Amino acid sequence: MSATDRPADTEKATRSPVSSPPIADARQPHSGQSDIFFAAVKTTRMPMIVTDPRQPDNPIVFCNEAFSFMTGYSEEEILGTNCRFLQGPETDRDVVAQVRAAVERRDEIAVELLNYRKNGSTFWNALFVSPVYDDAGELVYFFSSQLDISRRREAEDALHEAQKMEAVGKLTGGIAHDFNNLLQVIIGYSDILEARIDAGDRSGRRAVEAIGAAAARGATLTQQLLAFARKQELRDRLLNFNQLIEDFRPILNRTAGEGIILRQRLEENLWNCRIDPVQAEMALLNIVTNAREAIARQGTGGAISISTRNMIQSADQPEGPANLEPGEYVVVRIADDGPGIDPTIADKVFDPFFTTKEMGKGAGLGLAMVYGFMRQSGGLATVEPDAEGGAALSLHFPRAAGVTERRPSAVQPARKGGAERVLMVEDQEDVGDLGRSMLEDLGYDVVLTRSAREALDHLAQDSDFQLLFTDILMPGGMNGVALAQVVRRDYPRLAVLLTTGFADEAIDEGARSYELIRKPYRRSELNERIRAVLDRPGART
């Protein structure tokens, strides 16, 4: 209950009268109070207080044990004080003013207010205040019930944040899909030009290299957008995060740079989890890069620590964030001793394009990519100030059962294409023409079709192909995965390679049994992937 002035005596009584209990001294506990109302309120689990508006500053004259337990103050510390002692720096003054005005008008009021416990911690308080009148219609008390609703508020905030992220994710996912096709044309033709420019034409080669570098940067940004939108195709496998950190340690050391100590504290018996190792490494890289740049802004050296632990999120007593589903989790925590995070922007750090860096120093997509990857992996990313200074970001991965898998061995250098015939399916005309040019330049015999139906009609007349190379998202009612399934059934000797600049949950499961190359791809990368499909033992060629 907020600070209130004594109500005016000219107000008329409008509430049902109750018998007035004897008013004790404001600083004396009411444990001996004979009134049945106080006896009942004393033992209830809902925090309650009573104030006396006829005394100066409307002090608290009664509190029950539940109120004392919720706030951390003893009964002796509470009695005789005004309710403003629960307020703090972040308490909403407008809400306090609403309560004060209602008390002055002798009206009932219900609000939600941020209050402070004795130890300095905050809690959201669902506050209800009502005047109490005696038989003569005189105002004798204000009764107030309280309820700690912090968990509910946290869950509501998390829901609102998720809804906002989902809306932004749909927008960015759609943009990224179209942008990937444009980048594919730019990157593909720059590769073709680079192969045809004379070695002595330095200015021409520099121009082509600049085009390729800019397009590659655009491709990286697009992949981060797709990761944030949870539309990035994940190739997950069962692994132990301790091993991933150990294997990735040399790159993390180089990323942290000189003058920054990289520490690790890994739980010995860490549970396994099922994630995409490449995306997990990219997430670590983005977080360590952010930590390094935060430390650098101080102008002195510092330290970054990476720790892992097992955690059980209980529904009754959650150890982790309120919006984390109950279950068993592997927690990876990355902390730094930089300047920390301003609390006013802590809830924005995962937003796409949000950055505190100078103009041109960052796109604001690193942590957005981490957020999207974690949500798509069934986990959660959270950020909070570190108790010892700096900031800490925690990744919560669901525990998975089973035996960890080894990484696949590196693909051997690809040879140039032979005379193999490739049936290519691409509905975007410019992307299709580019793909045919790239494949022909690599030595393949290519037939280009514009839809799944056209490809099947062609196969019905001529099935002498070694590879089906098809986009996933296509119009006409049959996508690339459905086409691949028909080809696998009716033409089992024909190998399949899928491509996409966008992934969807409805397609992912069907696509997992086929090789996939993500747009935009380089000329050399395309050839490597094709050779990996055609040259592997047991390939259907």
Are residues 328 and 310 in contact, defined by beta-carbon separation less than 8 angstroms? yes
pTM: 0.45
Decide whether 236-406 matches 421-535 in CATH topology.
no
The per-residue pLDDT string of the chain (541 residues; one tens digit each, 9 = 90 and over) reads: 544 443 434 333 333 344 444 444 444 444 444 467 667 777 788 899 999 999 999 999 989 999 999 999 999 999 999 989 999 988 999 999 999 999 999 999 999 999 999 988 889 999 999 999 988 889 999 999 999 998 888 777 777 766 766 666 666 666 666 777 888 888 888 888 888 888 788 888 888 888 888 887 777 667 666 655 555 555 677 889 999 899 888 888 888 888 888 899 999 899 999 888 877 888 888 888 888 888 887 777 788 999 999 999 887 777 778 778 888 999 999 988 877 776 666 666 776 555 655 544 444 456 777 877 787 788 888 887 665 667 888 999 999 876 555 544 444 444 555 579 999 999 888 889 998 998 998 899 999 999 999 999 999 999 999 999 999 888 778 888 899 999 999 999 999 999 887 655 545 556 677 888 888 888 888 998 999 898 875 554 3
- Residue 414: strand, helix, or coil: coil
Over the range 270-288, which residues count as b (16 or more CB within 10 Å of their CB) and which as e?
bbbbbbbbebbbbbbbbbb
| Multiple choice CATH, 421-535, 3.10.20.30, 1.10.3660.10, 3.40.50.150, 3.40.50.2300 | 3.40.50.2300
Report how far residue 23's alpha carbon sits from residue 467's, in angstroms, rounded to the nearest whole number.
92
Q: With residue 422 as reference, give the H or E element that holds it.
A: strand 421-425
What's the order of all strands across the beta sheet hosting 495-500? 445-449, 421-425, 467-471, 495-500, 515-518
Residue 251 exposure: Cα atoms within 13 Å on the Cβ side:
13
Question: What pLDDT digit, counting tens, does each position of 379-438 carry?
Answer: 888 887 665 667 888 999 999 876 555 544 444 444 555 579 999 999 888 889 998 998
N-term to C-term CA, the chain = 78
What is the CATH topology of the domain spanning 236-406?
A: Heat Shock Protein 90 (3.30.565)
All structural domains of the chain with their residue ranges = 36-148, 236-406, 421-535
Q: Give CA angle at 344 (340, 345), nearest 5°.
A: 70
| Multiple choice CATH, 36-148, 3.40.50.300, 3.30.450.20, 3.30.70.260, 3.40.190.10 | 3.30.450.20
Q: Give CA angle at 391 (388, 392), nearest 5°.
A: 100
